[in-house]
Amino acid sequence: MASLNITKFSQYVHYWKRDNRPELNVLFPNYFPYINEECLRGSSNTMAYRCGLPGLMYEIMKVIAKGINYQLVIKLHDNTNVSHSRLWRLLEPGVYDTIAYPLQLSESHARLTDISASLYQVESYILIRSEEKRDSWWNLFKVYDNASWWMIALISIVQAIFIWFVQRVELKALMRENVKVSETDTPTPEIELSPGGPRNPGRPLDRRSRGVLQLLDGRRGPEGRLDREDRQVHARRASLVLLEDR
């Protein structure tokens, strides 16, 4: 930033402000971290009170304006890369009182401006994560954090309870008292309820179809299943019921 000490800056401001305006019009580059455009309110270009990161150049000029008892007026410039010769030409029309552009310390800048002490410094760091010394099966559990694992466990428990509840309701609806584990995946009819095609006992739709067929007919075999010769008949009945509903 082409900066002056407070005394000289106050003198130059009074020279530029021939109409004795109470504001200090400052041109800022529309670029973060110099100024945060998202914190500006409306067309008045006033900084929001609760803005946490207003920008480096804005904070510096705010201190200067407060020291010389002027109200800071923000003006934004779209071009973020302006040469120092272009900066002085922007001041000639008298629209801006000063320009808050960051400039590096150089011999050419020292001839044009009074350079103050460094206002801020920037240091660069590169953070590299070290690799694990050895592989372990426990690394499989490092895919998610602890909170995610607790959430997965909770969802799994809720899902297991829900499946158990649904199974109990289905068993009650089918009026079956005791069901062995080997009987939970009984053979299903070879005819679909809606579109035809081969049956897949692993699909939920086929299991639901079997339940619908058993509900339509109360007759079951000795093991609680529909007799094989009756399956196609009841499947056709179920198909007719679905067609009438449509």
| 91-104 pLDDT, tens digit each | 777 788 888 887 77
How many whole angstroms separate alpha carbon 147 and alpha carbon 153? 10
Could you tell me the pTM of the whole model? 0.40
Name the pLDDT band for 215 (thresholds 50, 70, 90): very low
Q: Which residue has the tokens 């200067």?
A: 64
Three-class SS state of 162: helix
Residue 39, Cβ neighbours under 10 Å: how many? 18
Tokens (6 digits) for 211: 């339940």
Q: Dihedral, CA atoms, 201, 204, 205, 208, nearest 10 degrees?
A: 90
Name the pLDDT band for 5 (thresholds 50, 70, 90): very low
Whether the Cβ atoms of residue 234 and residue 226 lie closer than 8 Å to each other: yes
User: 77-90 burial string, b = 16+ CB within 10 Å, else e?
Assistant: beeeeeebeebeee
Whether the pLDDT of residue 116 is over 80: the answer is no
